[in-house]
Amino acid sequence: MAQSMAKEFTKGLWAELPPFRLVLGLCPVLAVTQSVENGIGMGLATTFVLICSNFLVSLLRTIIPAKVRIACYIVIIATFVTIVELLMQAFTYELFLKLGIFIPLIVVNCIVLGRAEAFAGKNAPHLAIADGLGMGVGFTLSLGALGLVRESLGAGTILGHPVFGPDFQPFTFMVQAPGAFVCLGLMLCIMNLIGKK
C-alpha cells in the first residue's frame, strides 16, 4: 500500500508533471506567475482543492451515477474552491487580491477535473489523496519555478527582495503576457531535453 501511494505521489513530480508533461492548467501558469509569491499561492490553493476533491470523488465513486459524474465532480470541486477563496479572503487578503479571478477559475482547471475523472473516480481514497498531493506539489513547484524566473528577470527581485544590485535593468517583457509564453516555452524545451536522457 505504501509503495503504491509513493508511486502515485511521485508521478506528479516528474512523469506526469501537470504544466510541463501533461501541458494542463496553462491559464493560471501563464497568468499568475509574475512573481514567486503568486505562483506558490496559486499552487497551494490548487493543491488543497486537488487533495480534497480527489478524496471526496473517490469516496463517492460508487454512488455517483455515470451519466452525471462530470456535473457532480464540478460541484464537488466548486465547493472546495469556495472554501479556499473564503480562507484566502480571511487570512491572505493581499494574495487573494493579486490572484483575483484566477482563484474561482480553479473550478474549471483541467488538472483538477482531469484527476477527478481519470484517477479519483476509479481508485481508492488513499491513492486519490496521494495522487492529488503529488499533482498539487508538482503544480506548485512548476508555478514557483516559472514565477522565480519571471520575477528575477522581469523585476530583478525574488519574493520582493532585490537580487541583482542597483544597476540591474529589469527585462520587463518577462512579467508581461508575452514573456510568460516565452518563459513557459523555454521551460518546456528544457524539460523535454532532460526527459530524453
Please report the pLDDT score of residue 106 as a whole number.
96
CB within 8 Å of 124: residues ≥ 6 apart? 58
Please report the pLDDT score of residue 87 as a whole number.
98
Please report the pLDDT score of residue 2 as a whole number.
81
13, burial (CB in 10 Å: exposed 0-12, middle 13-18, buried 19+): middle
- Tens digits of residue pLDDT in 9-35: 999 898 888 888 888 888 889 999 999
What's the rounded Cα separation, in Å, for the pair 138 and 17? 6
Average pLDDT, integer, range 44-60: 98
Average pLDDT, integer, range 90-98: 97
Average model confidence (pLDDT) across the chain: 94
Cβ proximity of 46 and 139 under 8 Å: yes
The widest CA-to-CA distance across the chain, in whole angstroms, is 62
Cβ proximity of 9 and 156 under 8 Å: no
CB within 8 Å of 148: residues ≥ 6 apart? 36, 39, 158
Element (H, E) at 154: helix 125-155
CB within 8 Å of 42: residues ≥ 6 apart? 28, 32, 33, 99, 102, 103, 143
The cell for 169 is 535593468
Please report the pLDDT score of residue 127 as a whole number.
97
How does residue 1 score in pLDDT terms, banded at 50, 70 and 90? Answer: confident
Query: Is a pLDDT exceeding 70 seen at residue 134?
Result: yes
- Tens digits of residue pLDDT in 159-192: 999 999 889 999 999 999 999 999 999 999 999 8
Please report the pLDDT score of residue 56 as a whole number.
98
How does residue 195 score in pLDDT terms, banded at 50, 70 and 90? Answer: confident
Average pLDDT, integer, range 128-153: 96
Please report the pLDDT score of residue 196 as a whole number.
78
How does residue 3 score in pLDDT terms, banded at 50, 70 and 90? Answer: confident
Give the N- to C-terminal CA distance of the chain in Å, as an integer. 30
Average pLDDT, integer, range 63-76: 97
